[in-house]
Structure 1
Amino acid sequence: MILHAGLIAAFRGGRWRGVLIEGASGAGKSDLALRCLDRGFRLVADDRVTLWTSGGRLYGRAPETLAGRIEVRGLDVVAEPALAWSGVDLAVRCGTPERIPERAFLTHLGLSTPLITLAPLESSAPVKLSRALQHLGGGQEGAYLGGLAAGVSPPPGGDSR
Structure 2
Amino acid sequence: MPDPDPPTLHATAVAVDGRGLLIRGASGSGKSGLALEMMARGAQLVSDDRVILRAAGDALWLTAPKPLRGMIEARGIGLLGADCTDRARLCAVLDLDREEEARLPQRREIMLQGHRIPLLHKSAHPYFAASLVQYLKGGRRE
TM-score relative to the length of structure 2: 0.87
Quote the residue 1:98 is aligned against: 101
Quote the residue 1:117 is aligned against: 121
Quote the residue 2:11 is aligned against: 5
Considering Cα pairs closer than 8 Å and 6+ residues apart, tell me whether 1 or 2 has the greater RCO.
Answer: 2
Amino acid at match of 1:18: G
TM-score relative to the length of structure 1: 0.77
Tell me, in whole angstroms, the C-alpha distance in 1 between the residues paired with 2:87 and 2:116: 19
Amino acid at match of 2:107: R
Cα deviation, residue 63, structure 1 = 0.7
Please provide the CA RMSD for this pair: 1.4
CA deviation map 1:65-91 (0-9, x unaligned): 111100001110111111111111111
Secondary structure of residue in 1 paired with 2:101: coil
Q: Is the 8 A contact 2:42 2:133 kept in 1?
A: no
Structure with greater strand share of residues: 2
Cα deviation, residue 122, structure 1 = 4.2
Tell me, in whole angstroms, the C-alpha distance in 2 between the residues paired with 1:96 and 1:70: 24
CA deviation map 1:88-114 (0-9, x unaligned): 111111131121322211221111111
Secondary structure of residue in 2 paired with 1:116: strand
Structure 1 gap ranges (5+): 137-147, 150-161
Tell me, in whole angstroms, the C-alpha distance in 1 between the residues paired with 2:133 and 2:14: 11
Quote the residue 2:130 is aligned against: 127
Quote the residue 2:71 is aligned against: 69
Tell me, in whole angstroms, the C-alpha distance in 2 between the residues paired with 1:127 and 1:22: 18
Q: Is the 8 A contact 1:50 1:61 kept in 2?
A: yes
* Percent sequence identity over aligned pairs: 34
Q: Is the 8 A contact 1:52 1:109 kept in 2?
A: no
